[in-house]
Amino acid sequence: MQIKILGTGCAKCSLLERNVKAVIETHQLQDIFLEKVTDFEEILKYNILTTPGLVIDGETKSSGGIPSNQQILSWLKND
């Protein structure tokens, strides 16, 4: 599974990254590749208007806010 955190380094972007890492570690999820995307041109390819963005296996799951850890876990277990 490939996860991308889209953002230029704002506080919300960092928080989303920490939350995703915490969910992965807490639930001992395997075979996950986490990537932080900070390049503005690359972020634009995902058609999000506000950061942070969360992309799982090429599908944008959220943008502009911080999903709950429970929602993140749900996406990771279902994808």
CA distances from 1 to 34, 42, 60 (A): 9, 19, 14
Taking only the tens place, the pLDDT of each residue in 16-61 is: 999 999 999 999 999 999 999 999 999 999 989 899 999 999 999 9
The pTM (predicted TM-score) of the whole model is 0.92
Could you tell me the domains of the chain?
2-78 (3.40.30.10)
Taking only the tens place, the pLDDT of each residue in 4-20 is: 999 988 899 999 999 99
**Catalytic entry in 5, 6, 13, 24:** 13
| Catalytic-residue membership of 10 | yes
Report the candidate in 60, 37, 66, 34 with the shortest Cα–Cα distance to residue 47.
60
**Catalytic entry in 10, 22, 29, 34:** 10
| Catalytic-residue membership of 21 | no
